Amino acid sequence: AQRVTQPEKLLSVFKGAPVELKCNYSYSGSPELFWYVQYSRQRLQLLLRHISRESIKGFTADLNKGETSFHLKKPFAQEEDSAMYYCALSGRQGAQKLVFGQGTRLTINP
Amino acid sequence: DVKVTQSSRYLVKRTGEKVFLECVQDMDHENMFWYRQDPGLGLRLIYFSYDVKMKEKGDIPEGYSVSREKKERFSLILESASTNQTSMYLCASRLQGSSYNEQFFGPGTRLTVL
């Protein structure tokens, strides 16, 4: 079965501090992993995907198949990073369905 | 830019009513999805449609049905609304076969069932 777990419902850090949002997954094959973000009063949108290996808004995420993790990191948090973050998994490349984690609400304190 | 719109931002209905939630996308996407978003539970897939007149159950289809008569429109139907269906409902669309595999979301409909 496909499962995504985000162990932290809430995460609060100070501006300028490093941020790490945890994501663990369960899947027997080769997954495709994503981070989606929802800013206040905005729609849910894709932040980044592991295949692209890119940094978006200073965020990076590395797929660790040994630990089945896909943690989202940013070295220096900014106030505009405050949002709801969801980790998501697709069972194979190009598959239609996504399985989402429970979400982590990130708050950046000034 | 992909635009996904949902018919209502807020909806209040009574227990037992039949409720229709409409979703329209303007980018000719084959795949469309309905999720419900609940605090602590994340997004859970109710139904999805990979093309016109095609549908498949998601993880929590009980109490819901869907209709996809036209490519751009995907409707979610609550046959007899119940209080436990009070939630935020999100619609999404995706281009079939896209290597980028990105889903584009609507603004959501917050449904309250009294």
The model's pLDDT over B43-95, given as tens digits with 9 standing for 90+, comes to 999 999 999 999 999 999 999 999 999 999 999 999 999 999 999 999 999 98
Q: Is B61 on the interface with A (CB under 8 A)?
A: no
Q: Is A43 on the interface with B (CB under 8 A)?
A: yes
Minimal Cα–Cα distance from A13 to chain B, Å?
20
Q: Is A40 on the interface with B (CB under 8 A)?
A: no
Q: Is B94 on the interface with A (CB under 8 A)?
A: yes
* B102 contacts on A by Cβ (under 8 Å): 46, 49
* pLDDT, position A94: 53
Q: Is B87 on the interface with A (CB under 8 A)?
A: no
Percent of chain A at pLDDT above 70? 96
Name the amino acid, one letter, at A55. S
Indicate if the pLDDT at residue B3 is higher than 80: yes
- Substitution target in B43, B44, B99 with the highest count of A β-carbons within 10 Å is B43
- What HEC string does chain B produce? CCCEEECCCEEEECCCCCEEEEEEECCCCCEEEEEEEECCCEEEEEEEEEECCEEEECCCCCCEEEEEEECCEEEEEECCCCHHHCEEEEEEEECCCCCCCCCEECCCEEEEEC
* B99 contacts on A by Cβ (under 8 Å): 93-94
Q: Residues A85, A21: contact at Cβ < 8 Å?
A: yes
Provide the pLDDT confidence category of residue A50 given band limits of 50, 70 and 90: confident
Contacts of B69 (CB under 8 A, 6+ apart): B52, B53
Count interface pairs A-B at CB distance under 8 A.
Answer: 55
Among A20-24, A92-96, B58-62, B69-73, the least confident range: A92-96
Provide the pLDDT confidence category of residue A93 given band limits of 50, 70 and 90: low
